Amino acid sequence: MRFLIFFLIFASCVSSQKIVDKNNLYNNPKAIQDLNVKVGNQSASINDAINVNSFGIIGDGLKDNTSLLQKIINWAGLNKKKIYFPNGIYLTNQLLIPSNTKILGQNREKTILKLVSGSDNKNLGYIHNEGVNINFSNITLDANFSNNTGKSLSALYILNDHQPASPINNINLSNVSFKGGKGTGTLTIIGYSQKISNININNCNFDSSGSNSVQLRGCKTVNVNNCKFTNWGLSNPNVSSFNFLSIVNENIILKNNVFKNTNGHQFAIECAGAEVINSSFSDNIFYGNFLGASGISGAFTNSNFSNNKHLEGSGSWRSGYEIFGNNDIIANNFIENGSITLFGKERSGDYIGSFGNGFTVTNNIVKTNSINTSSLFIAGESQQYPVKNAKIIGNTFDNSASRGSNSPTIHVGTYGGEFYADSLFFEKNIIVSSSTQSCVYIRGADTLHNLVFKSNIFKGYSGFRFLNPDKLVDIQLNNNDFSEISNESNIFTYDTATITRQFKVLGNKYKNKIISNN
């Protein structure tokens, strides 16, 4: 009797194709086949796979396939079988994705799982409280935000909020296109009760997101490689593309990705209200579309930012780096029109203490041509939370094209007010000012001391400008080259006698003459 009911239902959907019903799926081994199919433009053999077309699911973009797709996914996960989707648009409501689900499409751009129109606060794919060994590949997941009323939509939403916690790990997303999220990440992964771990996101495309492209909270060991992020912030431009939010994330690697902004005004990558630790961001390219969305911001500890290119910037830190963390390395990056900001502040959340200790900034090229912007800002928010023990070595900071009356190349000890720094070491940098501004502006404060400038090259209008020099203690200016400063009287713009009492100024070069004690 059950067989007859299912047969009548499915026969009404497809008449020209052999249909395998639910009973055959469970009981007939012929329903599980070794398929010879197309994956992209290549022929492929897939062992132990289910072709959804065999169930009358034809991907016509018209029929809601939720009920039958959920049954297929549940059974395939339980029995560790693959699910194959030929090209087509498969409409569905939210699908719960169990452990061992492996979904494979024929062609990423032509095989589309799409959330039905009108869904209110739904997710296309949902992994909840338990899920291991889950794979998606060669398919588009479209949350369809333009045709849905929900304020929160994800193409894939992964959540662990159960106590006691069950594991969610070993999630592999390869050659997947994510579209149409809103109010959260088009891909959202949240580990409240236990960190979600071992996530691999390779060769994926994130496009047409109302809000964030990706949102991570409470994740560990995430690899994002060779992905492309475009068109985020379509319904809210004040969001980042890649967002770390509210819970500590660790061991995050983003490498060889491209971020190409069209609408967003926020950073490309942002850590908001949380911390990212032991992570690496390297060999990525950021195009800001001159709106400021080509930078990285937030609280990072023991993390590395290297060999990135930040292009089409707006001239602010949103087009470079705004980092408040500890023991971070910023190295070998190119910033076309932006800046680097190192900031000290109170540490919050899961940790106590402060941010701002142990930065290394080396071999970067930073340019800005904006109004009242510096290539490098360094400051702490209070005497208790200064930036300290920072090494600034071998960089080029170029403000030659900047404009405005408040645009020194390097700002130390100021960040919108009187802030603090301690034990900063500058060596072998090339520091270029505009035709009216100083290379370095230092604002003296009670905890601004132990600054060393050694073997740097200064070019432009003025070398140093000092405010409150009587508060500066243990400042050394040794073996620097000021010979390309336009006027020798502009090396220091405050009282030289006062500065000499506070400073050790030795072996610097002025207009091709070395002065041993100056």
* Residue 415 CB neighbour total at 10 angstroms: 21
Q: Is 30 exposed, middle or buried (0-12, 13-18, 19+ CB in 10 A)?
A: exposed
Do you know the residue count of the chain?
A: 518
CA dist 402 and 181 (Å) reads: 38
Sole residue written with tokens 């100021």: 414
Q: What is the pTM of this model?
A: 0.89
Q: What are phi and psi of 41, to 5 degrees?
A: -105, 5
42-57 burial: b if 16+ Cβ within 10 Å, else e: eeeebeebbbbbbbbb
Residue with the two structure tokens 């930078």: 295
* Residue 184 structure tokens: 């959260």
Contact 262, 289 (CB under 8 A): yes
CA 505 to chain CA centroid, nearest Å:
42
Amino acid 134: pLDDT = 97
| Dist. CA 166–CA 98, nearest whole Å | 13
**What is the chain's mean pLDDT, rounded?**
84
- Tens digits of per-residue pLDDT, 469-518? 666 678 889 999 999 998 777 787 764 445 555 678 888 888 755 554 44
pLDDT tens-place string over residues 20-54: 343 344 334 444 455 454 445 555 445 667 899 98
- DSSP 8-state class, residue 273: S
Euclidean distance between CA atoms 211 and 397, whole angstroms: 33
d(CA 67, CA 329): 50
Q: What is the DSSP string of 455-498?
A: S-EEEESEEEEEESGGG-EEEEEES-EEEEES-GGGSBSS-HHH
* DSSP secondary structure of 83-105: EEE-SEEEEES-EE--TT-EEEE
Amino acid at 501: R
The pLDDT tens digits of the residues spanning 283-325 come to 999 999 988 889 999 999 999 999 999 999 988 778 999 998 8
Q: How many C-beta atoms surround the C-beta of residue 24 within 10 A?
A: 18
